[in-house]
Amino acid sequence: MSHHLTILYRGLKSNNLKVTVLYRGLKFNNLKGFPSFIESVINQTTTNLIHLQSLGFKRIVVGDLQPLGCLPQATAQTSFQSCNSTFNDLVALHNNLLNQSITRMNQQSKPRITTHSQSSAFSIVSSQCGITLQTV
């Protein structure tokens, strides 16, 4: 008897949201179009997940975004003392839309897609290391 375990991890590195938010956002300081851009990223991610299911993947883990507003590129303006709340709000929008999409997909078929919360992991690591960043 043969047992096959197939787990696929789809992280954000396969799209450019992180780079786009950090570098275009910092460079142009105009984030008005990002909510609709994030929606299009989630729509494409959903399409990709449906395709992966059709290829036979039994378990899929999707990584959400960590708080981009707390990365060094975003905290440099405050001498690394404060997180950028605008970036973190965009991350929250992304992660909420991603979770809604995955919940809908799991309700429509056998639940087999889960998320890996990088935001939670970031919080645990920062609290264990005694790191305190304020959001501005």
98-113 tens-digit pLDDT? 999 999 999 988 878 8
Q: Is the pLDDT of residue 126 over 90?
A: no
Q: What pLDDT is stored for residue 114 in this prediction?
A: 83
Q: Which residues pair with 50 in a beta bridge?
A: none
Backbone angles phi, psi at 15, to 5 degrees: -135, 175
Record the tokens describing residue 91, joined without a space. Answer: 């991350």
Q: Is the pLDDT of residue 5 over 50?
A: no
Q: Is the pLDDT of residue 55 over 90?
A: no
Amino acid identity at 73? Q
pLDDT band, residue 62 (cuts 50/70/90): confident
Q: Rounded distance, CA 132 to CA 76, Å?
A: 15
- What predicted TM-score, i.e. pTM, was given to this entire model? 0.71
Q: Rounded distance, CA 47 to CA 43, Å?
A: 6
pLDDT higher for 82 or 102?
Answer: 102
Q: What pLDDT is stored for residue 26 in this prediction?
A: 47
pLDDT higher for 58 or 136?
Answer: 58
Amino acid identity at 36? S
Helical residues (DSSP H) of 1-136, grouped into ranges: 17-19, 25-28, 34-54, 72-75, 85-108, 118-128
